[in-house]
Amino acid sequence: MSINALKPIKLEKEVTVVLDGDSASMKSSAGEHVMQIPSFLNLEMYEEEDQKFLKFSTEDKKHIPMLGTIKAILKSFIVGLTKGHVKTLKLEGVGHKAEVSGDILKLSLGYSHPINADIPNGVNVSVSKNELKITGIDKQKVNQFSATVQSFRAFKPYKGPKILDSDKIYIMKERKK
């Protein structure tokens, strides 16, 4: 049994949570998230010493592992609403450029044609020289868009041009001579 799944989540002061039957709505100045809550999960909000908490419970032990997943998603939403999620990508290669026009990211990556990527709702992209900064309140959308952009010029250990995630360590291999 997962003990962490049964521990309550401490809510930040700037986040307001409204529990409405089978959904939980979270709001802050950054935005809003609405999440559908499964029927086997009981969510309660309580206050203790000027601090709000979300408490999880279920009647069936077989659903406890799912509580941990839902708790992690809710925590991610709270972090997104307070601090936001950021992913930084580096463009490496001669002539690699990026620019944002409206809700389209235009990439010149050494192919015969430019690549246009639609920026999802709730995700912001800023470009400075050879860096892309992807920000948003939904961690899943930020990471998915980051992975999509990286797939246009994936890392290959023997070749040079690529799009790199600044959070990861990449090792280049020496070419055979």
pLDDT score recorded for residue 59: 82
85-165 adopts what CATH topology? Outer Surface Protein A; domain 3 (3.90.930)
Average pLDDT, the chain: 86
175/10: higher pLDDT: 10
In the chain, where the domains are located: 4-82, 85-165
pLDDT at 125 over 70: yes
Q: What is the pTM of this model?
A: 0.84
Is the CB of residue 120 less than 8 Å from the CB of residue 135? no
Kindly state which CATH superfamily the domain 4-82 is placed in.
Ribosomal protein L6 (3.90.930.12)
* Residue range 47-79, pLDDT digits in tens: 888 888 888 888 888 887 888 888 888 889 999
The answer to whether 4-82 and 85-165 have equal CATH topology is yes
Q: Classify residue 126 by burial, with Cβ atoms within 10 Å: 0-12, 13-18, 19+.
A: exposed
pLDDT score recorded for residue 51: 87
